[in-house]
Structure 1
Amino acid sequence: MPQHQYDVVVIGTGPGGEGAAMQAVKQGLSVAVVERFKKIGGGCTHWGTIPSKALRYSIFQLTEVRQNRLFREAGLSIDLTFPQLRKTAAAVIQQQEEMRRSFYDRNRIPIIAGEAKLLDPHTVMVCEEKGACEKLTADNIVLAVGSRPYRPKDVDFTHPRIFDSDTILDLTYTPKSITVYGAGVVGCEYGSMFRNLGVKLNLVNTRERLLEFLDDEISDALSYHLRDHGTVIRHGEVYEKIEPTDDGVVLHLRSGKKLKTDVLLWANGRTGNTENLGLEAVGLTPDSRGQLKVDGRYCTSVPSIWAVGDVIGFPSLASAAYVQGRAAALHMTQSDAAQLLANDIPTGIYTSPEISSIGKTENELTAAGIPYEIGQAQFKSLARAQITGQRVGMLKLLFHRETMAILGVHCFGQNASEIIHIGQAIMNQPGSGNSLMYFINTTFNYPTMAEAYRVAALNGYNRLF
């Protein structure tokens, strides 16, 4: 069996693995990556972030045409099916895969195809589908193996009307109705998409609020907007059983309710891809959801083994995974640059409209006894939003009453995931550079959505007097 030596072996080519591999090479380390899928990029590129966001944009364009008065008066009517809308993602996926492969080629990082298994803290065995195996030894091993939808054993995912977030993209028709079980990020995003297609939507939430980690006002705005568009949201519900039939799926809830729709999307949690990885050989034990514990450096309890991305759990964002991979590689070489990586990672939730936030919520600041004030800008008052017709939404700034430092930024509305980065940049300025006054004294292009920062800052400043 052939054997090769590297400084770092990375298992997985998703955002976490890519971040670790690229940073390790920049640190002067020899690196190899292992990928079991036939193409690189991980779930993010092939059945998660990229295809779902491409689908969302196609649905957004279709909705824009349907709602545009000019098109209606011209008699233009467009009716596209779910599979037709899904096709737009294929080209994007191919471009992303080719681009990411070029990163490895340019940095002379070998991509080794096959299933990886740990033999000891410094050795990985990789076996191809046809059976050929080779050993890789390394000073450090990075586990960036990602996650997959959690599948309880009592749910028949082989039934053609029951889907999870990986398989829903293969839906061959546009259903008339759908039940989404689980109202986390994935459930809310897909629920928004189907509702925008005119599909009747039951959104079943096992908790008492939508996306409880968000600022209450943003969570409430999402709930209101979904209901205003005809979504039936059921909070605090747990399934008793799921009964598939020839013409639909019946969701039996413990409360006694029965919900029948054409299809059901299971969106209740994810599981780390840690089975068959040989963790027992190195003394690592994942939790009940297949996730691994790491320290602040992203190192496991085994000093030579690191873990990044979805396999370590929250926040399970592609952006966070890439930064975690970089941080792990920097910590391996004890680089001071590791401390420069931002601790605050913005959330990007691609519902309709989008949600994005960074920093503290009102509840967190209140619990910590921090004197804060609020500045708000309603999108409906912005000229750019009036021009585009995207009037739903708001920008909310939380700032310290005495120092004027920005403590949190929360945005709900079109392009929220872009708008948030202006606030993020100011929050990360040292000392007095982080100040509400920056937004008051800065000239913003007009008309733009970025102008919301000036409006919100003035609104908050006026509350101080």
Structure 2
Amino acid sequence: MAEYTYDVVVIGAGPAGEGAAMNAAKHGRRVAVIEDKKQVGGNCAHRGTIPSKALRHNVRQIIQFNTNPMFRDIGEPRWFSFPRVLKDAERVIAKQVKLRTGFYARNRIDLYHGKAYLLDEHRLEIRGAGTANDVLKAKEIVIATGSRPYQPPDIDFSHRRIYCSDSILKLGHTPRTLIIYGAGVIGSEYASIFVGLGVKVDLINPGSRLLSFLDDEISDALSYHLRDNGVLMRHNEEYETVEGNETGVVLTMKSGKKIRADAFLWCNGRSGNTDNLGLENVGLECNSRGQLKVDDHYRTALPHIYAVGDVIGYPSLASAAYDQGRSAASDLVSDAYFRFVDDVPTGIYTIPEISSVGKTEAELTAQRVPYEVGQAFFKHLARAQITGDTVGMLKILFHRETKELLGIHCFGDQASEIVHIGQAIMSQPGELNTLEYFINTTFNYPTMAEAYRVAALNGLNRIF
């Protein structure tokens, strides 16, 4: 057993851990990262964001090919299996791992593979790897261990027809029918992916509406298009039992309904990876979902131990996790760039995709804010007509009197890119953050960004 001393030890090499490690190293700190997987990137690169978004991109291309009349001149519609489409996504994962491995080497960050275990407030033991039993001593520690799908104990996830959002990436065939339990972001995204491959999907939602945190109009639009593509949604339903056999899975719900499918995908919640971390040795406790509580500087109850990313819960996004990691490092090195990450845009990669930032209509109504709406429908934009991606809209919410931007909501192709224009203007101070920016700015034509000008004029015409 050997003992090594560092300024900062980061547990986890996902987006949050990477952000913390890189920022600390750039400030001259001696940094080590402990990662329990064989490769860096975390769940984001290997089981979550990257593979699912690569899958979605490929499925979207298949849909475009099969529905575009121009392609009928060169052949009939094609069918692609889930494993075939997934194999192409692995190409992206390999590129991400290579890129991020280079970051650690270039910044002289020591990377240890194994499971971290807190011996006391400043020492960690590495377990279960070639460097097992080595001890790292650190002035500061950043916990960035991420999360995993929550798995209720009464469901047999070892059954070959029952999957979670991690294990679904090992699916070796394309089921004809699929039950997805949980209609949150992950469940909705996989419903889009599988229905795009021709799978009959039942989407079971324990709640009353789809993605209730979204603006109502955007949520309704997603519901319509999922149904239009063939997804059968069942709201206000909870499972009683999930039973797998040799030919399929039977879901029995508390309402008495029974549904059968070739496979079952659980997408209902995630748990923080804090078990077997030795938290009890330093007096830290997590909640029932394995999440750690932090203050507004990402410090736990012990001020030299930080926690960032999915392990602290909301918003559980790769984009936020990276910024949280950087901010935690900014706090421990006392630089000028610390910020509490609370202005994160929502990006949902369904087909079509969704993105938003700021307030919803329901929130503004509840707060009695006198707002108005500006809309631009993609079907009226020349660029969307050229590409054929005419489904969707951009909605701008603004104050009737001051014209201050209050919310940007986008549904359709490139929504997660388009929203950032509105986000940039909303972050400007005072009079720079108004609807008039879009009215007084010339946009390239034809572009999707032109939707801001169209929506701004639409909203301005509503003011009397």
TM interval, shorter chain, is over 0.9
CA contact (8 A) 1:155 1:242 kept: yes
3-state secondary structure, aligned to 1:445: coil
Which runs of structure 2 are paired with 1:100-139 in the superposition (5 Å)?
A: 100-129=100-129, 132-139=132-139
1:371 shift after superposition:
1.7
Output the CA distance in 2 between the equivalents of 1:251 and 1:309: 33
The 1:389–1:49 alpha-carbon spacing in structure 2 relative to 1, beyond 3 Å, is same
Which runs of structure 2 are paired with 1:61-210 in the superposition (5 Å)?
A: 61-129=61-129, 132-210=132-210
Output the CA distance in 2 between the equivalents of 1:230 and 1:155: 27
Give the letter for the 2:291 counterpart.
Answer: Q
CA contact (8 A) 2:80 2:197 kept: no
CA contact (8 A) 1:27 1:330 kept: no
CA contact (8 A) 2:114 2:132 kept: no
1:334 shift after superposition:
2.7
Which runs of structure 2 are paired with 1:312-391 in the superposition (5 Å)?
A: 312-339=312-339, 343-391=342-390
Q: What per-residue deviation string (whole Å, max 9, x for no partner) do you get for residues 42-78 of structure 1?
A: 0100111111111111111111111111212333432
3-state secondary structure, aligned to 1:125: strand
Output the CA distance in 2 between the equivalents of 1:87 and 1:74: 25
Which segments of 5 or more consecutive residues in structure 1 lack a partner in the other structure? none
Q: What per-residue deviation string (whole Å, max 9, x for no partner) do you get for residues 181-225 of structure 1?
A: 000000000001111111111000011111111111111111111
1:128 shift after superposition:
3.8
| Other-structure match for 2:298 | 298
| Other-structure match for 2:273 | 273
| Other-structure match for 1:447 | 446
Which runs of structure 2 are paired with 1:42-61 in the superposition (5 Å)?
A: 42-61=42-61
| Other-structure match for 1:225 | 225
3-state secondary structure, aligned to 2:416: helix
Give the letter for the 1:16 counterpart.
Answer: A
Return 66-75 or 283-292, whichever deviates more: 66-75
CA contact (8 A) 2:243 2:251 kept: yes
Q: What per-residue deviation string (whole Å, max 9, x for no partner) do you get for residues 5-28 of structure 1?
A: 111100000000001111111222
Which runs of structure 2 are paired with 1:233-272 in the superposition (5 Å)?
A: 233-272=233-272
CA contact (8 A) 1:354 1:414 kept: yes
| Other-structure match for 1:425 | 424
3-state secondary structure, aligned to 2:403: coil
CA contact (8 A) 1:14 1:144 kept: yes
Q: What per-residue deviation string (whole Å, max 9, x for no partner) do you get for residues 205-251 of structure 1?
A: 01111111111111111111111122111111100000112111111
1:130 shift after superposition:
5.1
CA contact (8 A) 1:119 1:278 kept: yes
CA contact (8 A) 2:378 2:391 kept: yes
Output the CA distance in 2 between the equivalents of 1:132 and 1:316: 30
2:9 corresponds to 1:9: yes
Output the CA distance in 2 between the equivalents of 1:157 and 1:232: 24
Output the CA distance in 2 between the equivalents of 1:7 and 1:432: 44
CA contact (8 A) 2:79 2:197 kept: no
3-state secondary structure, aligned to 1:39: coil
The 1:460–1:342 alpha-carbon spacing in structure 2 relative to 1, beyond 3 Å, is farther
3-state secondary structure, aligned to 1:250: strand
1:452 shift after superposition:
0.5
TM-score, length basis structure 1: 0.98
The 1:162–1:277 alpha-carbon spacing in structure 2 relative to 1, beyond 3 Å, is same
Output the CA distance in 2 between the equivalents of 1:22 and 1:129: 24
| Other-structure match for 1:28 | 28
Return 341-350 or 316-325, whichever deviates more: 341-350
When the two chains are superposed, the root-mean-square deviation of aligned CA atoms in Å is: 1.2
CA contact (8 A) 1:379 1:391 kept: yes
Give the letter for the 2:212 counterpart.
Answer: E
Return 99-108 or 224-233, whichever deviates more: 224-233
CA contact (8 A) 1:308 1:321 kept: yes
| Other-structure match for 1:437 | 436
Give the letter for the 1:424 counterpart.
Answer: Q
Give the letter for the 2:75 counterpart.
Answer: G
Q: What per-residue deviation string (whole Å, max 9, x for no partner) do you get for residues 122-160 of structure 1?
A: 111112435731111111100000011111111011111
CA contact (8 A) 1:184 1:267 kept: yes
Output the CA distance in 2 between the equivalents of 1:49 and 1:206: 24
Which segments of 5 or more consecutive residues in structure 2 lack a partner in the other structure? none
Output the CA distance in 2 between the equivalents of 1:268 and 1:406: 34
Give the letter for the 1:460 counterpart.
Answer: G
Give the letter for the 1:358 counterpart.
Answer: V
Output the CA distance in 2 between the equivalents of 1:207 and 1:343: 25
Output the CA distance in 2 between the equivalents of 1:222 and 1:180: 16
CA contact (8 A) 2:24 2:329 kept: yes
Output the CA distance in 2 between the equivalents of 1:367 and 1:43: 37
3-state secondary structure, aligned to 1:336: coil
Output the CA distance in 2 between the equivalents of 1:175 and 1:342: 40
3-state secondary structure, aligned to 1:87: helix
1:342 shift after superposition:
5.8
3-state secondary structure, aligned to 2:104: helix
| Other-structure match for 1:461 | 460
2:407 corresponds to 1:408: yes
Structure 1 runs (4+) greater than 6 angstroms displaced: none
Output the CA distance in 2 between the equivalents of 1:333 and 1:61: 45
Which runs of structure 2 are paired with 1:211-222 in the superposition (5 Å)?
A: 211-222=211-222
Output the CA distance in 1 between the equivalents of 2:223 and 2:79: 27
